[in-house]
Amino acid sequence: MFEKLDAINDDLVAFMAMMITMPVAFYALYISDLYFQKQPLTLSSAIVYIISGGLIIGYLIFKMVRLFNLRRSTRLGYEGEVATGQELNLMMLQGYHVYHDFAADQFNIDHIVVGPAGVFAVETKARAKPTSDDRTADAKVTYDGHCIHFPKWKEVKPLEQAKAQSVWLERWLSSATGEKTAVRPVVALPGWYITRTASEGILVINPKQFLRIAKPINGNTLDDRRIKSIVHQIDQRCRNIESKAVEGLGGRN
């Protein structure tokens, strides 16, 4: 996420530089025609300059507006992941293991929590709140087990994404540890008050609630041996991903 923000900022700087240099470039082209091609400025050439410049500047403005909007949403997502990560880190005081931005196959899992209550794959979704006279209602979300109902819209995709990631992690951990390992999907919505209206469906929570909901299914807790086995495999994958990144940057084996 942080790398994506850097890339967006680099693109914005590039487009801004192009906007600044556009008048200079057109003036240089005009001087070239005037002194080297011996072509004085005519009405038709002036119209060509104006239309061409307007189209290019309009395109640059369009791209910059899109990048500003993308940067705003990306920064919101980054801040949401940081807020969720800070809350989940408190679980380490309870003996849990917490991982952030875990690299899977072609995607990342925002957070993984491992402890006596089980293994949790947490997908963070940061959403900007609407603004109205009723600030309390603006911050409320209703979850019916199938859909997340925000004040002015509803979403299903975060639930599907969290489920898909938990399925991948469950398969990978079961294969890596040699034992069936259940993973519970969680959607974290930092800054929202969540009302659940049905018992079915996955966990959708404010990350501050995680300590309350981190309870084993049917009382089946993970013992120390299983926790160590799972944590060992996650640690090894994290180290392998890191070493590959360093090697790609020219680091020594």
**41 pLDDT more than 90:** no
How far is 248 from 128, CA to CA, in rounded Å?
Answer: 37
- CA nearest to 123, candidates 201, 70, 202, 197: 202
Does residue 197 contact residue 180 with C-beta atoms inside 8 Å? Answer: no
| Max Cα-Cα span within the chain | 89
* Domain limits, the chain: 2-80, 97-248
Give mean pLDDT, residues 186-191. Answer: 91
DSSP label at residue 128: P
* Residue, of 20 and 249, whose pLDDT is higher: 20
Helix (H, G, I), strand (E, B) or coil at 142: strand
Q: Measuring CA to CA, which residue among 167, 145, 141 is closest to residue 156?
A: 145
Per residue in 137-154, pLDDT (tens digit) is: 788 999 998 999 998 889
Q: Please state, in angstroms and rounded to a whole number, the distance separating the CA atoms of residues 22 and 53.
A: 8
pLDDT of residue 173: 94
Nearest CA-CA partner of 162 in 109, 212, 240, 94: 109
Mean pLDDT, the chain, as a whole number?
A: 82
Confidence class for position 135, pLDDT limits 50, 70, 90 = confident
Residue 183 phi/psi, 5-degree rounding, is -125, 130
pLDDT at 240: 64
Instruction: Decide: helix, strand or coil at residue 101.
Output: strand
Query: Is residue 230's pLDDT more than 90?
Result: yes
Rg, Å, the chain Cα set = 26
What mean pLDDT do residues 231-249 have?
A: 65
Instruction: Indicate whether this model's pTM tops 0.75.
Output: no
Q: What is the pLDDT of residue 251?
A: 38
pLDDT higher at 219 or 222 = 222
Stretch 77-96: mean pLDDT, rounded? 86
Q: For residue 40, what pLDDT is reported?
A: 65
Q: Which amino acid is at 249?
A: L
Give the whole-angstrom CA distance, residue 201 versus residue 187.
11
CA distance 158 to 204: 10
At position 1, the amino acid (one-letter code) is M
Query: DSSP secondary structure string, 65-114?
Result: HHHHHHHHHHHHHHHHHHHHHHHHHGGGGGT-EEEEEEE-SSSEEEEEEE
Average pLDDT, stretch 44-67? Answer: 81
Q: Which residue has the higher pLDDT, 69 or 219?
A: 69
